[in-house]
Amino acid sequence: MLQLFAKSYNPQTAASDPGVPMPLSSNVSNRPGRGTVDKIYGQLTEDLSTAIDLLPISAGLPTRPSRTAGYALLAKVYLNMQQYAEAASIADKCLEINNKLLDYNTLDPSSGAPMPAGIQNKNPEIIFYTTSLYGFYYLPSTEIATELVNGYEPNDLRRNVFLESNGTGYNFKGSYTGDLFSYGLFAGIATDEIYLIRAEANIRSQKIPEALRDLNLLLFNRYKSGTFVPISGTNPEPVLRKILTERRKELVARGIRWSDLRRLNQDSRFAVTLKRNIGGTEYTLAPNSLRYLFPIPDNEINSSGIAQNPR
């Protein structure tokens, strides 16, 4: 809900930015108000830290919570809070339990569903399995952005594993559900995302060798055998840009891009103006636009008295 109805976490303004109602008791008469973004993130980190100690290290089924999943989610939260040392530390703990990566050379890119069946525990990367609701992304008219398609290099196996040509563009087929008949796309957490979280957190803390180690390990498992040339460098800026580029190319259609846009738009180096042309009319969404905040439903405002988001 924070990603829809509140501003992205900004360390300079989170203590005053309105959040979303966060009831902490079962009393339906309580009207907690919107609180602040900082307060809600603080509650999230506290609750996750408590839950981690109570959960089993691993679960028998990927749909059940585990300590590994708790660490993974907490690392995501810290990344969104731009608390990079904490994000890297928690990602370390997660990957100490499960550091497996799937070698895409073992997949059949000609298949309509190239991935191993996630819910059957056949994909070693999956830490927690859940799916998004069935949506418009199943329509043939929903295509992958051209700049993303063109970003895959010739020996990058992800292009043919993730994408399928429809004659005029490309549709997505590489969901970690591994199922042609799934009613949603994979929206859980997997080790590839945790490697990217740790790589970004480390490079933002000027830990270049550690960041490159994670990035190169991931890409080694994504390129055609014998073709990947490890990335090197001593300047953190181009390494950070590469990590963010690979983050977009790796985590396709997992429901992550929206929160990444909101987070990265705070930095002018990575801010993006979205443009779409529909019926001859161009629509734009500028970085940090108030339109990144969804309007709060009228019935919620009428029943609780909370303030509407500005537009």
The reported pLDDT for the residue numbered 135 is 64
Tell me the CA distances in angstroms from 278 to 83, 169, 281, 283, one per residue in order.
Answer: 39, 16, 5, 8
The reported pLDDT for the residue numbered 136 is 63
Q: Which residues share a beta bridge with 186?
A: 131
Range in 133-142, 155-164, 233-242, 292-301 the model is least confident about: 133-142
The reply to whether 68 falls in a domain is no
Tell me the CA distances in angstroms from 78 to 171, 187, 190, one per residue in order.
Answer: 32, 19, 17
Cβ atoms of 257 and 248 within 8 Å: the answer is yes
**Stronger pLDDT, 243 or 277, i.e. the higher one:** 243
How many whole angstroms separate alpha carbon 283 and alpha carbon 143? 17
The reply to whether 132 falls in a domain is yes
The reply to whether 186 falls in a domain is yes
- The H-assigned helical ranges of 63-188 are 67-80, 84-97, 146-149, 158-162
The reply to whether 245 falls in a domain is yes
- Using pLDDT thresholds of 50, 70 and 90, give the confidence band for residue 138: low
How many whole angstroms separate alpha carbon 34 and alpha carbon 40? 9
pLDDT at residue 33 greater than cutoff 90: no
* DSSP one-letter string for 119-146: TTT--TTEEE--BPPP-GGGSTT----H
The reply to whether 238 falls in a domain is yes
- Using pLDDT thresholds of 50, 70 and 90, give the confidence band for residue 241: very high
The reply to whether 114 falls in a domain is yes
Among 81, 122, 235, 115, which residue's Cα sits nearest to residue 185?
Answer: 115
Mean pLDDT of all residues in 106-111:
96
The reported pLDDT for the residue numbered 32 is 84
The reported pLDDT for the residue numbered 311 is 85
Phi, psi of 275, rounded to the nearest 5 degrees? -135, 135
Task: For 176-185, write each residue's pLDDT tens digit.
Answer: 999 877 778 9
The reply to whether 32 falls in a domain is no
The reply to whether 226 falls in a domain is yes
Site of tokens 């443009």: 275
Total tally of structural domains belonging to the chain = 1
Site of tokens 């069946």: 117
Mean pLDDT computed over every residue of the chain: 94
| Half-sphere exposure of residue 231: CA atoms within 13 angstroms, side-chain side | 24
Assign 48 to helix, strand or coil: helix
Pairing assessment for the beta strands 170-172 and 126-128 based on DSSP bridges: unpaired
Q: What dihedral angle (degrees, nearest 10) is formed by the CA atoms of 271, 79, 6, 129? A: 110
Q: Which domain holds residue 102?
A: 98-263
pTM over 0.85: yes
Cα dihedral across residues 246, 249, 252, 258: positive or negative: positive
Q: Which residues share a beta bridge with 164?
A: 171
- Using pLDDT thresholds of 50, 70 and 90, give the confidence band for residue 175: very high
CATH number for the domain spanning 200: value is 1.25.40.900
The reported pLDDT for the residue numbered 180 is 75
